[in-house]
Amino acid sequence: MVEPLALKDHSWESRIFFERIVVCFGVLVILTLFLVARFFYLQIVQYDVYATLSDKNRIQIQPLPPVRGLIYDRNGELLADNSPSFNLTITPERVDDLDQTLAHLGSALRLTDEDIKGFRSRVGRRQRPFQPVPLLFKLTQEEIAQFSVDRHALPGVEVNAKLVRHYPRGEMMVHAVGSVRRINESDARRLDAVAYSGTDHVGKIGVEKFYEEDLLGSVGYQQVEIDARGKVMKILESNLPSRGKDLILHVDSSLQAAASAALGDRRGTVVAIEPKTGGILALVSKPGYDPNLFVTGIDHKTYAALRDSRDVPLFNRAVQGQYEPGSTLKPIIGLAGLVTGMTNPDYTIDDPGWFRLSNSERLYRDWNWRASGAGGHGKVNLEKAIYRSCNIYFYGLAVKMGIDRLDDYLSLFGFGVNTTLDLPEARSGLLPTREWKEDTRGLPWYPGDTVNIGIGQGDMLVTPLQLATAVTVIANRGKWVSPRMLKSGSDLIERSTVPRMDSIELIPDPIWDLVIGAMEKVVHRGNQVYGENGTAWAYIGQDIEYRMAGKSGTAQVVGIKQGEEYDAEELEERQRKHAWFVAFAPVDNPTIALAVLVENGGGGSEFAAPVARAVLDHHLLKSTTNSGQVVATAGEEL
């Protein structure tokens, strides 16, 4: 049955088999040792690495974001608070079909492609699974209700509430308070990741930016054990956040509203300062925008409309806008002339309506110059030169003083330098000097340049806030106060890096009296023969209950050719002159100083002065209803 050969083969076969199985088993043992080595590497050699990773998984430090400090005006009115905002979030892991869910949501709620794009990019940036990702921000009550109806059909979609910045006064206060914005990628690189963990917004503009450190508060945290779905299993340790500091600003909301109303629909700005403190009482720049739009993310179209608007609503004219000061500079030039002895109160010129440098053909005209030769102010001393705003007097005075001396005195009033303590956007204007012209244009300073400076034109630029500050210094008779938004609540203001100015001493009272008196006449000198009234009297000075010192000005937008009369109607509206008016009141004990600019407004006395009057009226005549004080009194009675 079984052949011997087959038997021999059997033993041969079993030898081969034995050899093979030993080799295989050897390989198998080696492979097993390889696995052992692998586990030795993971568990012994790399233990620390993986133990840390495991704890990182399990233990999450959850930031407890602080509540941002509130901002009040001087009367205790809220300018910036925090209100709950409802976001729609999706946890992708809990959603079966993301596209279908998005489509479903899109049919029920407003949902743009942009929203979806943003959502998808946020999904990509997640740190761990089961993190809810916001899809829509700032749901309205109706949207929440709408969503609730569909909710059962949409697992993984939730409505979350979060406190976000809210500006109750909206557009009216935006340029005074500034605003927060969502932290974007470049912010994230700049900001301290720990301090801002859990915080979505950062002060980007104005007071919100300057006092960011104090407003933010300090972040708390809780150490929690979570599962992979992000569910908190237990709290291991916690450290509560401390809320940001509340700030009280000098701003007076009702004054701000009055200034805003006085400007109406015109582009322009009002900056009012309390001379005693330098506190900014009102800071209006029109047009503005609603800062609440930016808090939770503005849609591209609305943003583009704001950004590209010809009226530049995002631009804070009061602190960033740089304009020629025009004739508003004349009181300061006059003051400098008196102090330096380059003129005196009795010095009188005969004004033909034009001025010409001795070796030049060019005519510098007065504002009431006529081609017929009928212009001019006749006999003009310094006082009249101010209240009639006579250019010719100041052309001559400026030339006599020379640019260096002018610069010395103008810089004492803060021109060419930013002195605003706590508005980061504030710009420094331009005070032209010989060096500046040499550096920027490679040209020497010509006497003609000095002529222009004499009436606040040429290359000189100021911001409305700078001009208001200079007027404050005049109101204070030389005592400097740095302009500021903050009344109380933070020490950060001390750390402001802007230069602190020295008060202007050495100017004798009679000189102040003369210049301030002349400014008073700008408003109050009236009922005179033609050409003898204060320039602003006809517009604002006739039924005034208090004494105001003021000065009008116009800043040129386009140059007018020699021999041409200025005719506003011929120019396009945007090319009209900017109307300036600066003022302080009451004259004997000033409580407010201001600068008003109406862009393309035309003549300063006619168009800017009434705005100034309205603001001063409000401040001096209606401010008795001070809500903050009423509250304090009520408290005392209790």
Partner 1 sequence: MSQDFVRQLPGSGLLTQRKTGIGDAIHLDVPMLLLLLIISAYGLLILYSAVGQQIEPVISQSIKMLVGLGVMLVIAQISPIVYMRLAPWIFLIGLITLVLIYFFGIEVKGSRRWLRIPGVTNFQPSEIMKLILPLMLAWYFQDRHLPPKARHVFWSLVIIIIPVMLIAFQPDLGTSLIIAASGLFVLLLAGVSWRLVFSAIGLGVVTMPALWFVLRDYQRARILTLLDPERDPLGAGWNIIQSKTAIGSGGLFGKGLFEGTQSHLHFLPESQTDFIIAVLGEELGFVGVVVLLILYLLLIGRGVILSVQAQDTFGRLLSGSITFTFFVYVFVNIGMVSGVLPVVGVPLPFVSYGGTSILTLFAGFGILMSVHTHRRITL
Catalytic residues: 327
- By CB under 8 A, name the one of 117, 151, 229, 622 that touches partner 1: 229
* 188 near partner 1, rule: CB under 8 A: no
How near is the Cβ of 155 to partner 1 at its closest, in Å? 18
Residue number, 47 or 446, with CB nearest to partner 1: 47
Kindly tell me which of 20 and 307 has the beta carbon lying closer to partner 1.
Answer: 20
Query: Of 16 and 235, which CB lies nearer to partner 1 in the complex structure?
Result: 16
- Give the residue, chosen from 32, 112, 302, 629, that forms a contact with partner 1 under the rule CB under 8 A: 32
Which of 128, 190, 307, 370 contacts partner 1 by CB under 8 A? 128
Token pair listed for 602? 């035309």
Site for partner 1 in 34-63 (CB under 8 A): 35-36, 38-40, 42-44, 46-47, 49-51, 53-55, 57-58
CA-only gyration radius of the chain, Å: 36
DSSP 360: -
95 binds partner 1 (CB under 8 A): no
126 binds partner 1 (CB under 8 A): yes
Does residue 145 belong to the site contacting partner 1 (CB under 8 A)?
no
**Residue 605: closest CA among 545, 524, 529:** 524
Is the four-CA dihedral 114, 116, 121, 125 of positive or negative sign? positive
Minimum Å gap between C-beta 121 and partner 1 is: 15
Q: Is the dihedral of CA 194, 200, 205, 210 positive or negative?
A: negative
Instruction: Provide the strand spans (E) within 210-318.
Output: 220-226, 232-239, 247-249, 268-273, 280-286
Sign of CA pseudo-dihedral 491, 493, 499, 501: negative
User: Shortest distance, CB of residue 37 to partner 1, whole angstroms?
Assistant: 10
Query: Between β-strands 578-585 and 549-555, what pairing exists: parallel, antiparallel or unpaired?
Result: antiparallel
Smallest gap, in angstroms, from Cβ of residue 227 to partner 1? 4
Least separation in angstroms between residue 615's CB and partner 1 is 58
- 560 is a contact residue toward partner 1 (CB under 8 A): no
Say whether residue 26 binds partner 1 (CB under 8 A): no
Which of 194, 228, 371, 630 lies at the binding interface for partner 1 (CB under 8 A)? 228
Q: Token digits for 125?
A: 């940036």
Whether residue 412 contacts residue 438, with contact meaning beta carbons closer than 8 Å, is answered with no
Of 31-39, 113-121, 393-401, 579-587, the segment contacting partner 1 by CB under 8 A is 31-39
Q: How far is the CB of 25 from partner 1 (least distance, A)?
A: 5
In sequence order, the β-bridge partners of residue 181 are: 202
Side-chain-side CA neighbours of 438 within 13 Å: the count stands at 5
| Residues in 5-24 that interact with partner 1 by CB under 8 A | 7, 9-10, 12-14, 16-18, 20-21, 24
State which residue, 46 or 633, has the beta carbon closest to partner 1: 46
Strand order through the sheet with 592-598: 280-286, 268-273, 592-598, 578-585, 549-555
Cβ atoms of 583 and 471 within 8 Å: the answer is yes
CB of 94 to partner 1, least distance (A): 13
CA distance 65 to 198: 5
Q: Which of 135, 227, 410, 475 binds partner 1 (CB under 8 A)?
A: 227
Are the C-beta atoms of residues 193 and 165 closer than 8 Å to each other? no
Tell me if 121 contacts partner 1 by CB under 8 A: no
- Quick one: 127 or 562, whose CB is closer to partner 1? 127
Q: How far apart are CA 354 and CA 334, in angstroms?
A: 19
Nearest distance, CB of residue 138 and partner 1, angstroms: 28
Q: Of the candidates 366, 270, 374, 282, which has an alpha carbon nearest to the alpha carbon of residue 327?
A: 366
The pair of three-digit structure tokens given for residue 257, joined into one six-digit string: 């509203």
CA distance linking residue 607 with residue 600, whole number of Å = 10
Between 38 and 151, whose beta carbon lies closer to partner 1?
38
Residues lying near partner 1 in the complex (CB under 8 A): 2, 7, 9-10, 12-14, 16-18, 20-21, 24-25, 28-29, 31-32, 35-36, 38-40, 42-44, 46-47, 49-51, 53-55, 57-58, 126, 128-129, 225-229, 233
